[in-house]
Amino acid sequence: MKNYYQKEVETASYEEIRQIQNEKIVKQVRYVYDNVPYYRNLMDKKGVSPDDIKSVDDIKKLPFLTKDDLREAYPYGLRGTDLKNCVRIQSTSGTTGKRVVAFYTQKDIDMWEECCARAIVAAGGTNEDVVQVCYGYGLFTGGPGLNGGSHKVGSLTLPMSSGNTDRQIQFMMDLDATILCCTPSYAAYIGESLAEKGYKPEDNKLKAGIFGAEPWTEEMRQGIEKSLGIKAYDIYGLTETSGPGVAFECEEQTGMHINEDHFYAEIIDPDTGEVLPEGSKGELVFTSLDKEGFPLLRYRTKDICILSRKKCSCGRTHVKMTKPLGRSDDMMIIRGVNVFPSQIEAVLLKEGYPPNYQIVVDRVNNSDTFDIYVECTPELFSDKVSEMQTQEKKLNLAMRSMLGIGPKIHLVAPKTIERSEGKAVRVIDKRKLH
Ligand code: ADP
Ligand code: ZN
């Protein structure tokens, strides 16, 4: 039997979802116009009034909101209601610059946690599960979001937060955790640590993992599934829209259903701002439909993905987004070629290397240098310089055929690249420091 947390809305017809969205958008735009002077100003400048927005088809008339706007309006400028109505503040991890703070009313928290509950149920979670949450707790949304979702489902929640891997493993084994929630890089590390301690994948009781907050590849998914003996589900979100749970994967594992009754998604050309038709690759833009504390209209996420309405075997009808192929600001331009860290990761995993690597880009004598430090598995590692050189050459060729340019590969000994307990740091672009 298929399980849903909120079956009616998760499996509603396209027309029904549209109707919900149309009703909500009219109210949300009016609410923002009346309560957020910063955005009202943007609308006035563009000559759009709330009366112009009668359905989601009219969203394209609204001005965009960017990360720069959020920084400019920091900390209170985009708040939708008095602080006395807000019960929580969360903040972005600051991966790409100054942090952004978001405000939540109790209604916003409930909506966010319900979105996370949908994700947990889609991963097979019930009130009989033990959900180990090792996303960071605190300002970062990962821990609080999944924690709240797990409570809503009625699962036994282990609020571990990130770090202290020995203790994570001890609790996982002693308390028979069945669902693991953390960043994919940390999940890979836990898998690795379990093996080191002599545990086999079948020794733990985990059945599923809900991993997100950073880009990860299909190859990495397969690695995690194998090392932990689980099914690994993707989850996506950002602080600005609430946190994890904006979109989540179902059993089909072919993209994440966006919770369309709360968030309206568009794909735009990042250069021109033009809305692109379904199936196009572009920048994801979200409009919140019923938020109070931090409502955002046409917020440009900088995440690059594709939307699809192809029928899903899980019965959910909400539009699906592909894994973000990277952030538009994650993309490196090296010697004139566009390079995403995710492409590099895909090559490494395909060639049998673990997802532990660091990319270092610099500029020397007006020319870009491009180095990748790649950790070997103990099997791949050798004391013989010639053997390592042969492997480096092979990897260089594989990279060259994927990227169009060849990096300098440095194979390093197992366990020499620092592990992350939260979001992994993959790129060091020294050009930005000059
Ligand atoms: P920061 O921008 O500081 O990292 P957040 O902690 O709010 O802020 O993280 C949100 C961002 O994390 C998203 O915009 C996206 O780039 C990334 N992200 C979240 N979930 C995923 C996922 N499942 N796959 C890829 N990237 C993700
Ligand atoms: Zn589905």
Residue 316 Cα to ligand 1 midpoint, Å, equals 23
Is 230 domain-assigned?
yes
pTM flag (> 0.85): yes
Q: Residue 97's pLDDT band (boundaries 50, 70, 90)?
A: low
Q: Candidates 236, 257, 285, 329: which one to mutate for ligand 1, based on the most atoms within 8 Å of Cβ?
A: 236
Q: Which of 303, 327, 351 is the last residue in one of the domains?
A: 327
Residues 353 and 422 in one domain: yes
Q: What is the mean pLDDT of residues 10-24?
A: 98
Residue 98 has pLDDT above 80, yes or no: no
Residues 34 and 164 in one domain: yes
Which residue's structure tokens are 């013989």? 384
pLDDT in tens, 339-379: 888 889 989 999 999 889 999 999 998 889 999 999 998 88
pLDDT in tens, 394-423: 999 999 999 989 999 999 999 999 888 888
Q: Residue 424's pLDDT band (boundaries 50, 70, 90)?
A: confident
Residues 169 and 271 in one domain: yes
What is the secondary structure of 189-252 as a DSSP string?
A: HHHHHHHHTT--GGGS---EEEEESS---HHHHHHHHHHHTSEEEEEEEEGGGTEEEEEEE-TT
Residues 312 and 368 in one domain: no
Listed in sequence order, the residues at least 6 apart from 69 whose beta carbon sits closer than 8 Å to its beta carbon are 38, 42, 78
Residue 319 Cα to ligand 2 midpoint, Å, equals 9
Closest listed residue to residue 149, CA positions, set 79, 220, 235: 235
Residue 195 has pLDDT above 80, yes or no: yes
Is 121 domain-assigned?
yes
Is 147 domain-assigned?
yes
Quote the pLDDT of residue 333.
87
Whose Cα sits closest to atom 24 in ligand 1? Answer: 215
Residues 133 and 158 in one domain: yes
Listed in sequence order, the residues at least 6 apart from 238 whose beta carbon sits closer than 8 Å to its beta carbon are 92, 246, 301, 303
What is the secondary structure of 71-89 as a DSSP string?
A: HHTTTTTT--S-GGG--EE
pLDDT in tens, 72-88: 999 999 999 999 999 99
Dihedral pair phi/psi, residue 368, rounded to 5°: -75, 135
Residue 96 has pLDDT above 70, yes or no: no
Quote the pLDDT of residue 95.
65
Q: Which of 327, 350, 385 is the last residue in one of the domains?
A: 327
Residue 67 Cα to ligand 2 midpoint, Å, equals 30
Q: What is the CATH number of the domain that holds 168?
A: 3.40.50.12780
Q: What is the CATH number of the domain that holds 389?
A: 3.30.300.30
Closest listed residue to residue 290, CA positions, set 426, 148, 110, 152: 110
Range of the domain at 84: 1-327
Closest listed residue to residue 163, CA positions, set 137, 139, 200: 137
Quote the pLDDT of residue 315.
98
Is 113 domain-assigned?
yes
Residue 433 has pLDDT above 70, yes or no: no
End-to-end C-alpha distance for the chain, whole angstroms: 58
Residue 334 Cα to ligand 1 midpoint, Å, equals 23
Chain centroid to Cα 99, Å, comes to 17
pLDDT in tens, 118-159: 999 999 999 999 999 999 999 999 999 999 999 999 999 999
Residue 434 has pLDDT above 80, yes or no: no
Is 399 domain-assigned?
yes
Residues 163 and 306 in one domain: yes
Quote the pLDDT of residue 337.
87
Q: Which of 311, 327, 343 is the last residue in one of the domains?
A: 327
Is 194 domain-assigned?
yes
Residue 1 has pLDDT above 70, yes or no: no
Residues 192 and 247 in one domain: yes
Q: Residue 196's pLDDT band (boundaries 50, 70, 90)?
A: very high
Residues 105 and 236 in one domain: yes
Residues 195 and 98 in one domain: yes
Percent of the chain with pLDDT over 70: 98
Q: Residue 311's pLDDT band (boundaries 50, 70, 90)?
A: very high
Residue 214 Cα to ligand 1 midpoint, Å, equals 5
Residues 130 and 166 in one domain: yes
Whose Cα sits closest to atom 14 in ligand 1? Answer: 238
Overall number of domains in the chain = 2
Q: Helices (DSSP H) in 11-66: which residue ranges?
A: 14-35, 37-46
What is the secondary structure of 235-249 as a DSSP string?
A: EEEEGGGTEEEEEEE
Q: Candidates 91, 95, 140, 185: which one to mutate for ligand 1, based on the most atoms within 8 Å of Cβ?
A: 95
Residues 323 and 368 in one domain: no
Is 434 domain-assigned?
no
Residue 337 Cα to ligand 1 midpoint, Å, equals 24
Residues 95 and 59 in one domain: yes
Ligand 1 binding residues, C-beta < 6 A: 92-96, 212-215, 234-239, 301, 303, 323-324, 327
